[in-house]
Every structure is written in structure tokens, then in C-alpha cells.
């Protein structure tokens, strides 16, 4: 648990940095002259490239066993890209930095998740990932509020990006402390590792298909924020506040639902997916109050995807292939996210109603697949 909390502190500062940035990149791109299609492609393309690289990162981590060096490189790249957005003079330059930030996250996530899976084997992976996600989302709540405070005080978007250099430096410092304290996180699991080297089980591939459908229908907040700016539904200063509220809902939901997941398994994802899919009509078709509720549902959904869905993978695959499995899992999710984001960006420019139907429909298609793998993905006794 001490390792989980320390890595949670790393994620807290990291999320202050990059989630603070993501809360304002949509309006920032709109201000710089980007179209809705461009925003959708940038957001989705960044996720695609980032998730694709996780396959490489996970495989390299498993083969070399050097989880910490890969994790450190990823965090350094990601934390450098965010403050650099303050210097972007065009939406094209901003797009490059947004994608670079996603690349950094791609490099560090599989080895970090593998280390967390090892460390949380004894306390319950739903709980371990839930606690980590709660700290992660606490940072994701604070970061957008910092950006909102800068804008409310009369600062411009570059000033908001520049101030995020402070938590970026704290991220790297805390990560170095964690590395010194726990040089071998895999040794934290007292049960013998499953060293099977065969192919990944069928349940994993079915589960991957289900989560890919969920990702395809889950809009990036950049597109939601773009909608708030374009439709004048939400004042610019309140957009990062909406995002902060979503991150708070994400963290609290992950903490509470992680415990439930350890008891009931993947079955929990069936009602959660159906409920959180309602974010789309509330955000894109509702009034400001409905949009706020939709944003909260979106935040809960993101928390579920980043904690419970990730925790379930650890119960399906051999321990020796955790990082590789996370790389594959993230690749499938990222390809689906890119395709879905691109489609939703194009649909936004033509018909918001069709965007909503697409977002809700593809997520509901995941339910039969999740039902097939119910009972899998719990912590294996």
C-alpha cells in the first residue's frame, strides 16, 4: 500500500499538469483557429499514437525487466510537453505538443501499471487501482482549477500552461523518490508469479473488444470543451471548472467502485457502461445544467475505464506478461478512441444528433461482450 500511495502521489502531480492542460486545450485550439474536425483528429490521433506506442513500451518493459527507466523516460517527455504549450503560436504547433504529451504518457503507462498490479496483488487489485486512481483524479481536479484561476484573474491561456511547470517538476522529483525507495516493485507480490508464456486467453481478447467499443463512443473532453466554446453554452472560465468536477467524480467513483469490483468482478461494468453512456445527450443536447451532469457522468466513466477496466486485465493474464498485456489492451483501446474521436469530430460539423446516436450506440454494443466475460478479472486467490 505504501508503494501504491507513493505512485499515487506521482500521478497526483502529473495529473495536475496534464489534466490542467487538457481542460483548456479545446478552447485554446478553437482560439487558434482549429475546426471541430481538426480537434477530433488531434485528440483522437494523439490517443491513437500514444496507445499504439504502449504496445512497444509494454513489450520492452517485459523483455528487459527495466520498468523504472522506461517509466522515467515517459514522465520526463510528458511533463516537458505541457508547459511548452505556452510557446505555441499556431494550432498546428499546439497539436504537435498535444501529441507529444500523449506519447510520453504512452511510454510510462504499461510499466507503471505492471508495477501497480504486482504491488496490489495482496490488497486486491480493484482497491489498489482504485486508490491510485483516486489520487490521480485529485490532481486532475486541482489542475483544471489552477488553470481556471489563472483565466479568472485575467491571465491568458499561455500563462495557464506556463504555471503548470510547477507540478511537472514535482512529478519528476516524487518519481525519483519512489524509484529510490522501491527499486524492485515486482518483489512486493508475496505469491509466486504465474510464469506461463503461452498465448493470452480468449477472455482477454473478448474483453479487449468490449473496452474498444466503449472507447470509440467516449468523446475526448477537448471536443466537449470545443462544443461549450462554439455554442456559448459555458463561459470559458467555467470550462476548466467543469473538467475539475468531472475529475473529482472520477476519483471518488474509482475509490468506491474499486472495492465493489473486488467482490463482483466485471459484472459491475454492465450497469456502469449503460449509465455513463448517457453523458453524450446531456453534454451535446442539453442546457448548461444538463451539460454539467453529463460532464460528471463522463468523469465517472473515465475513472471506470482507467481503474476498474485496467485492474480487470491483471486477473486474466500471466503475471510475467502484464506489461505486454497492458500494451495490447491500450493499443486496442487507443485505435478505437482515435476512430471514434475522428468520426465524432466529423459528425459534429454536420449533425450533433448523429454524434449523440453514434456515441451512445457503440458503447451499448459492448454490453453483450462484457456479459460473456463476467466473473473474469477478479483478483485470483
- Which pLDDT value is given to residue 380? 41
Query: What per-residue confidence (pLDDT) applies to 83?
Result: 92
Mean pLDDT for all residues in the chain: 83
Does residue 49 surpass a pLDDT of 80?
A: no
For the cut 50, the answer to whether the pLDDT of residue 100 exceeds it is yes
Contact call for residues 359 and 280 (beta carbons, < 8 A) = yes
Question: What average pLDDT score do residues 305-317 get?
Answer: 78
* Per-residue pLDDT tens digits for 4-28: 888 889 989 998 998 888 888 878 8
E strand spans, 171-279: none
Confidence of residue 319 (pLDDT cuts 50, 70, 90): low
56-98 pLDDT tens trace: 887 787 777 778 888 999 999 999 999 999 988 888 999 889 8
The tens digit of pLDDT for each residue in 110-133 reads 788 778 877 776 777 667 777 777
| Distance, CA of 257 to CA of 312 (rounded, Å) | 13
Residue 338 has pLDDT above 90, yes or no: no
Band of residue 188 on the pLDDT scale cut at 50, 70, 90 = low
Under DSSP, the state recorded for 381 is: -
**Residues whose CB falls within 8 Å of the CB of residue 230, separated by 6 or more in sequence, listed in order:** 30, 36
User: Is residue 379 over pLDDT 60?
Assistant: no
Res 208 pLDDT > 70: yes
Residue 143 corresponds to which cell in the numbers above? 489542475
Compute the average pLDDT of residues 24-34: 84
> What is the share, in percent, of the chain residues with pLDDT greater than 70?
92
What string of DSSP letters covers 33-64? T--HHHHHHHHHHHHHHHHHHHHHHHHHHHHH
Q: Which comes out higher in pLDDT, residue 163 or 49?
A: 163
The reported pLDDT for the residue numbered 187 is 58
For the residues 357-380, what does the mean pLDDT come to?
81
| pLDDT value of residue 354 | 94
Q: What pLDDT, on a 0 to 100 scale, did the predictor assign at position 190?
A: 42
Q: Is the pLDDT of residue 373 over 80?
A: yes
HSE (side-chain half, CA atoms, 13 Å) at 231? 20
The tens digit of pLDDT for each residue in 146-181 reads 988 998 888 788 899 999 999 999 999 999 998 888
pLDDT at 58: 72
pLDDT band at 274 (very low <50, low <70, confident <90, very high): very high
- pTM of the shown model: 0.68
User: How many angstroms separate the CA atoms of 108 and 79, rounded?
Assistant: 11
> pLDDT value at position 48?
73
Cell of 323: 506489461
If one compares 158 and 326, the residue with the highest pLDDT of the two is: 158
The architecture (CATH level 2) of 2-179+202-372 comes to Up-down Bundle (1.20)
Judged against a pLDDT cut of 50, whether residue 193 lies above it is answered with no
Does residue 196 register a pLDDT over 70? no
Average pLDDT over residues 291-310: 87
Amino acid at each position: 500500500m505504501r508503494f501504491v500511495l507513493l505512485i499515487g502521489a506521482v500521478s497526483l502531480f502529473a495529473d495536475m499538469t496534464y489534466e490542467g492542460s487538457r481542460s483548456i486545450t479545446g478552447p485554446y485550439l478553437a482560439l487558434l483557429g482549429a475546426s471541430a474536425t481538426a480537434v477530433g483528429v488531434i485528440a483522437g490521433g494523439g490517443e491513437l499514437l500514444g496507445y499504439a506506442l504502449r504496445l512497444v513500451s509494454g513489450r520492452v518493459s517485459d523483455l528487459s525487466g527495466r520498468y523504472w527507466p522506461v517509466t522515467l523516460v515517459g514522465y520526463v517527455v510528458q511533463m516537458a510537453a505541457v508547459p511548452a504549450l505556452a510557446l505555441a503560436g499556431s494550432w498546428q504547433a499546439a497539436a504537435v505538443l498535444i501529441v507529444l504529451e500523449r506519447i510520453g504518457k504512452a511510454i510510462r503507462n504499461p510499466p507503471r501499471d505492471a508495477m501497480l498490479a504486482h504491488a496490489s496483488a495482496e490488497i486486491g487489485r480493484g482497491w489498489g487501482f482504485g486508490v491510485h486512481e483516486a489520487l490521480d483524479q485529485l490532481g486532475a481536479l486541482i489542475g483544471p482549477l489552477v488553470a481556471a484561476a489563472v483565466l479568472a484573474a485575467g491571465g491568458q491561456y499561455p500563462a495557464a500552461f506556463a504555471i503548470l511547470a510547477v507540478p511537472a517538476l514535482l512529478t519528476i522529483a516524487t518519481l525519483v523518490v519512489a524509484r529510490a525507495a522501491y527499486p524492485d516493485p515486482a518483489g512486493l507480490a508475496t505469491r509466486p508469479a504465474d510464469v506461463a508464456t503461452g498465448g493470452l486467453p480468449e477472455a482477454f481478447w473478448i474483453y479487449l473488444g468490449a473496452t474498444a467499443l466503449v472507447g470509440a463512443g467516449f468523446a475526448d473532453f477537448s471536443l466537449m470543451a470545443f462544443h461549450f466554446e462554439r455554442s456559448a453554452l459555458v463561459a470559458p472560465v467555467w470550462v476548466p471548472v467543469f473538467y475539475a468536477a468531472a475529475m473529482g467524480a472520477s476519483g471518488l467513483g474509482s475509490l468506491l467502485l474499486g472495492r465493489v469490483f473486488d467482490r463482483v468482478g466485471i459484472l459491475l461494468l454492465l450497469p456502469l457502461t449503460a449509465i455513463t453512456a448517457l453523458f453524450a445527450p446531456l453534454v451535446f443536447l442539453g442546457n448548461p445544467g444538463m451539460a454539467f451532469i453529463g460532464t460528471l457522468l463522463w468523469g465517472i466513466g473515465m475513472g471506470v475505464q482507467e481503474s476498474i477496466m485496467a485492474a480487470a486485465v491483471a486477473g486474466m493474464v500471466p503475471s510475467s506478461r502484464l506489461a505486454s498485456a497492458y500494451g495490447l489492451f491500450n493499443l486496442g483501446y487507443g485505435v478505437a478512441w482515435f476512430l471514434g474521436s475522428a468520426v465524432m469530430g466529423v459528425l459534429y460539423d454536420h449533425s450533433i444528433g448523429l454524434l449523440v446516436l453514434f456515441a451512445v450506440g457503440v458503447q451499448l454494443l459492448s454490453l453483450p461482450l462484457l456479459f460473456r466475460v463476467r466473473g473474469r478479472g477478479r483478483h485470483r486467490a
